[in-house]
C-alpha cells in the first residue's frame, strides 16, 4: 500500500490475536504497522510483532526492490513494534538504528545488546536527511512509554505517530474508527493525558496531511476530526452529553432500579448507555465511563465493600486519572451498606468530581421511597 509516492506500508495484520497485551479483546484482529521511506537513503519506520518477522522482512524487501535500507527508526520499544530488530540487522547488516537514548537502554534489556556500533541517537528537534525527505524527531515521553519518539516527514507532511492515533482491529476491519480507537486510547494511553496534550501542542505547529500510526489505518482525510477527539480524550473532557450506568446485580433488584432510572432519563430526552459489568467487556466500560459526562455506579455491598466487578472498574478509572464528571450512586444491601462510602473513597482523588445529592439506597428490594429517590436522581442527572 502506498502512503505516498515514496512512502510504502509494509506492516502486517494479526487475525488470530484474542487478547492484546494479554488483556484487551480484539474481535477484529490487530495491525502492526511499519513503513518504508524510499529516497537516496532508505528508512524503515519500526518493526512488527515477533511472530510476523519473516512476513515483515519480505514486505521490506519487496518495497525496497533490491536496495538495502540505511536506517531502522525505532519510535517505540514495545515488542509488537521492535521484536524483529535482530533479524532486520542480520538481513540488512549495513543498516543503522535510529532511536532515543532511553530506547537503546531498553534494547539492552530486550536483546542483551544496545547495538553500539549501529546507534544513531536522536532527541527532540534533531533531523535526519534522507535526500528529498527529512525526518524531524519529536519527543513523546510517556505516550505511553518513556522512550517514545514521533517523527514528522516534512516533504510529504506525514506524522509517524508511534502508538498515538492507534486503534484495535486489523487495517481492513470494517468498523467505526472512533469506537475502537477510544477503547484503545483509554485502555492503554488514558493515564497519560497530560503528556498527550504536550504532543498535540507540538503537532499544532506542523502542517500534517497524513498520520501513520503503529496500529490501525493510515489517516489522511478529515484530520481535524481525529485530532479533535484526541484533544477531548486527553483533556478528560466528556465527549457525549448523556448518562452511563455500569451496574452489577446479584438477584435482579439492583437491575430493576437501573432499568427504572434509564427509562426515566430517556423520557426526559437524556441519552443513556447501560452495561452489565459482570457480562460485558471491562475495557468497553472504561471507554464509556470516559465518554459520558455523567456516570451512575449501581451495585451491591459485598463482603463489606463494593461488589468486585464495580470495584475493579473504579480502580481502572482511578489509575487513569478519572476526573471532570458528575457521579450518581445506586446502592443495594441487606445490612451495613458500603457502596456509597466505597465509591466516593475510590474517586476522591479525581479532579472536579461532583457527586449527586441523591443516593438511591435499596435495602434488599425496592420500595416506594426508592422509587422517589430514582425520580430525584433522574431529575438531577437531566439538568
Residue 150 within any structural domain of the chain: yes
**In which band, very low, low, confident or very high, does the pLDDT at 349 lie, cut at 50, 70 and 90?**
confident
Residue 2 within any structural domain of the chain: no
pLDDT at 178: 96
Final residue of a structural domain among 234, 257, 290: 234
One domain for residues 226 and 271: no
Residue 70 within any structural domain of the chain: yes
Q: Is the dihedral of CA 171, 173, 175, 180 positive or negative?
A: negative
| H runs (alpha helix) in the chain | 53-64, 79-82, 85-91, 101-111, 177-184, 193-203, 223-234, 253-267, 282-291, 308-319, 339-347, 368-382
Average pLDDT estimate for 342-370: 96
Q: Is the dihedral of CA 16, 315, 299, 256 positive or negative?
A: negative
63-122, pLDDT tens digit by residue? 999 999 999 999 999 999 999 999 999 999 999 999 999 999 999 999 999 999 999 999
Domain region containing 275: 243-382
237-277, pLDDT tens digit by residue? 999 999 999 999 999 999 999 999 999 999 999 999 999 99
One domain for residues 92 and 64: yes
CATH code assigned at 352: 3.40.50.360
Residue 138 pLDDT greater than 90, yes or no = yes
- CA dist 379 and 330 (Å) reads 15
**In which band, very low, low, confident or very high, does the pLDDT at 1 lie, cut at 50, 70 and 90?**
confident
pTM of the predicted structure, to 2 decimals: 0.93
- CA dist 150 and 163 (Å) reads 9
Beta bridge partners of 135: 128, 153
Final residue of a structural domain among 217, 234, 251: 234
Cα 236 to Cα 61, 123, 185, 204, 323: the distances in Å are 43, 28, 12, 19, 7
One domain for residues 187 and 279: no
pLDDT at 169: 97
Average pLDDT estimate for 175-198: 95
SS3 label, residue 1: coil
Amino acid at each position: 500500500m502506498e502512503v505516498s509516492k515514496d512512502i510504502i506500508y509494509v506492516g502486517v495484520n494479526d487475525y488470530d490475536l484474542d487478547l492484546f497485551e494479554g488483556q484487551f479483546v480484539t474481535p477484529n484482529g490487530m495491525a502492526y504497522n511499519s513503513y518504508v521511506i524510499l529516497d537516496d537513503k532508505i528508512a524503515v519506520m519500526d518493526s512488527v510483532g515477533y511472530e510476523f518477522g519473516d512476513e515483515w522482512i519480505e514486505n521490506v524487501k519487496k518495497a525496497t526492490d533490491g536496495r538495502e535500507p540505511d536506517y531502522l527508526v525505532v519510535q517505540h520499544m514495545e515488542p509488537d513494534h521492535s521484536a524483529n530488530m535482530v533479524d532486520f540487522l542480520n538481513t540488512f547488516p549495513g543498516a543503522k538504528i535510529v532511536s532515543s537514548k532511553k530506547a537503546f537502554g531498553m534494547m539492552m534489556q530486550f536483546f542483551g545488546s544496545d547495538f553500539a556500533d549501529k546507534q544513531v541517537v536522536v532527541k527532540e528537534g534533531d533531523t535526519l536527511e534522507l535526500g528529498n525527505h527529512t525526518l524531524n524527531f519529536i519527543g513523546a515521553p510517556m505516550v505511553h512509554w518513556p522512550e517514545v519518539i514521533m517523527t514528522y516527514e516534512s516533504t510529504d507532511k506525514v506524522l509517524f505517530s508511534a502508538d498515538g492515533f492507534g486503534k484495535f482491529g486489523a487495517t481492513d476491519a470494517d468498523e467505526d474508527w472512533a469506537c475502537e480507537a477510544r477503547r484503545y486510547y483509554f485502555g492503554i494511553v488514558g493515564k497519560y493525558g497530560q503528556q498527550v496534550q504536550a504532543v498535540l501542542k507540538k503537532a499544532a505547529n506542523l502542517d500534517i496531511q497524513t498520520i501513520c500510526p503503529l496500529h490501525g489505518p493510515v489517516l489522511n482525510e478529515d484530520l481535524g476530526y481525529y485530532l479533535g477527539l484526541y484533544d477531548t480524550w486527553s483533556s478528560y473532557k466528556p465527549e457525549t452529553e448523556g448518562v452511563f450506568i455500569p451496574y452489577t446485580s446479584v438477584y435482579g433488584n439492583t437491575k430493576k432500579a437501573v432499568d427504572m432510572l434509564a427509562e426515566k432519563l430517556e423520557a426526559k430526552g437524556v441519552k443513556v448507555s447501560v452495561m452489565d459489568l459482570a457480562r460485558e467487556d471491562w475495557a468497553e466500560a472504561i471507554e464509556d465511563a470516559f465518554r459520558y459526562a455523567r456516570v451512575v455506579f449501581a451495585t451491591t455491598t459485598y463482603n463489606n465493600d463494593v461488589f468486585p466487578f464495580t470495584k475493579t472498574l473504579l480502580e481502572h478509572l482511578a489509575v487513569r486519572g478519572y476526573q471532570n464528571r458528575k457521579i450518581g450512586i445506586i446502592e443495594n444491601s441487606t445490612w451495613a451498606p458500603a457502596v456509597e462510602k466505597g465509591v466516593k473513597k475510590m474517586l476522591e482523588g479525581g479532579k472536579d468530581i461532583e457527586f449527586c445529592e441523591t443516593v438511591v439506597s435499596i435495602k434488599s428490594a425496592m420500595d416506594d421511597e426508592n422509587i422517589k429517590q430514582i425520580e430525584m436522581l433522574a431529575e438531577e442527572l437531566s439538568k
